Homo-oligomer: A and B are copies of this chain.
Amino acid sequence: MTKQIRINAFTQCSICPQSKGQWKNPADHSSAGYRDLDYWIDLAKTLERGCVDALFFADVHGVYDVFGGSMNAGIQHAVQFPGNDPTTLATVLARETQHLGLIFTLSTTYYPPFHAAKLFSSLDHFTGGRVGWNIVTSYLESAYKNGLGSQPLEHDERYDQADEYLDVAYKLWEHSWEEDAVSRDVHADVHTDPTKVHRINHKGQYYSVQGPHMCEPSPQRTPFLVQAGQSGRGTEFGAKHAEALFCGFRDIQEAKEKTRTIRDLCEANGRPRDAIKVLPGVCIVCAPTEQEAQEKYREYLSYSSPEGALALFGGWTGIDLAGLEPESVLDNMESQGMQFLAQWFNSDDPNNRATLMDVMEYMSIGSLAKVVVGTPAQIADYLEAMVDEADVDGFNVIPVAQPASALELVDLVIPELQRRGRFKTHYEGNTLRENFSHTSHPRLDPTHHAFTLSLESP
C-alpha cells in the first residue's frame, strides 16, 4: 500500500519569514497581514480546504544582528522582524476551522516549564486537541540580551536541560491528574477528587517544580510533539521525545540515510520504527506549465533581498559574511549548534564549495529548504520519490509568498497528490495526533518515554 503523505505548512507570525524580500511582491500579503486576524483566518481556511495537516508557526525572540555587526539589515529587510506572538492566534484559528492542526514553537530556554505546560494544556482544551508543540532550544545571543533565559549554554548541555524540561512537562501533563479526577459530584460536594490530583515534586539539576498541574486533562494531554534539531545530540533528543521531526536534507540519498538513523534511534528508545514522522522542509514553486513555473521562480528571485538573506544566515550561524565578494568561497563555517548549515554549504567535494552567491540564493528563497520548481506532476513526482525512496513521511512546506504559496499548494499540488492516492481527501480523526499519526487514540503512544516516568523519578 502506498504511504500517505503528511503536509504541514510552515509560517511565522512575521513577514515572509524564510524568503527575504517577498514583502515587495504583490502576491505576498504578509507585511500588513501578519498583524491582522483576517489574514490568518483566510490562510488557515485555505489550508484546511486542502486537508493540510497543520499550520506550523516558528518564532524568534530577538533581532538578527550578526551581519555587518549591526541590526540594520535585519530591520530594513524585515528579517523575521517585527513579529507577534503566534500562540495568541490559536483560539481564533481553532474557531474558524474544524480540523487543521496548529503547531507552535516555544523555546525551553525562555519559558518556565510550568507556564509552558499550562499554556499548551489551555490551547489543547480550546482547540479540541488540535495543538502541537515545536520544541526548540534557543541559541540567539540577542534573545539572552533581552533578559530571556540564563547565560547561553553549550549546545549539548542545552539538550540536557531540555530533556529535564520535557520530563517536568510530562509529569504535569500525564502524571499529575488522574483521568477521572474531575467528578463534578454535586451530591457529595466534590468538584475534583483531591486524591486523584498529585504534586509532581520534581527536583532535578535545572528545575524544581512542585505542582500539581493547573489544568485538568485535555483531549491530547501532551500536545503533539514536533522537533527540529539537526545535530547528533538534537536527533538523539528528537528520537526520544518527538512524534514528528522537521528537518533539512540536501538530496534523496542524504534523506534516506538520515531517516534510517532516526528510525534506528527511535527503535533504540523502545519506540516503533515509524513512531516519528520525518518531515523535510520543501519550498514549492508550482504552476500549470513548466515554463510558467520557471517564470514564477525568476519573478520570486527578482523580489529577493540578498542582504536580508545574509542577515538571516548570520543570525542562524553566528557568521558575518559582510564585506565578501559574491564569488568568495566560504570556509570555516562550522559553528556551534549549526553544524547542519555548515554541512549544507561545505560539501566534501572540493569542487563543490559554496560561494557567497550560493548562500544568498539559498537563503533568499525558502532559506535552506530544498526548492522544487515545476508543474503539479513534477512536484508530485519529487514528493513521491522522497517518500518512497528516502522513506520520509511528508513535508513541512516553506512558503515563498503568502498566501500565494498556500494557494499553489492547495489548488495545484495537493489535488495531484490526491489523484495519485497519496494524500487524504478528508480529515479522519478529531485531534492533531490522530490525524497526523493515523491512530485512533488522541494520546501519546504507550511506548513513549513520558510513560517511563513516575512521580518518584528524580
Contacts and interface: CB of A to CB of B under 8 A. Distances in A.
A407 interface: no
Interface in A187-240: 189-194, 197, 199, 207-216, 218
Interface stretch (A77-85, A410-418, A450-458): A77-85
Contact of A31 (B112, B191, B213): B191
A112 B37 CA distance: 26
Nearest to A112: B147
B85 A88 contact: no
A148 interface: yes
A97 to B, nearest CB: 12
A188 to B, nearest CB: 9
A121 B88 CA distance: 11
A123 interface: yes
Contacts of A194: 70-73, 75-76
A15 B191 contact: yes
A197 B62 CA distance: 13
B88 A87 contact: yes
Interface string A245-265: 000000000000000000000
A126 B24 contact: no
Contacts of A286: none
A167 to B, nearest CB: 13
A195 to B, nearest CB: 8
Given A61-B118, A75-B192, A84-B118, 17 more contacts: A15-B191, A41-B95, A63-B214, A70-B194, A72-B194, A75-B194, A75-B212, A82-B192, A85-B118, A87-B88, A88-B126, A90-B91, A92-B126, A110-B112, A110-B115, A142-B210, A146-B209
10 contacts: A13-B122, A23-B191, A36-B126, A75-B192, A76-B194, A88-B88, A88-B122, A91-B92, A112-B146, A142-B210
Interface of A: 13, 15, 21, 23-24, 31-32, 35-37, 41, 61-63, 70-73, 75-78, 81-85, 87-92, 94-96, 110-115, 118-119, 121-123, 125-126, 142, 145-148, 168, 182, 184, 186, 189-194, 197, 199, 207-216, 218, 305
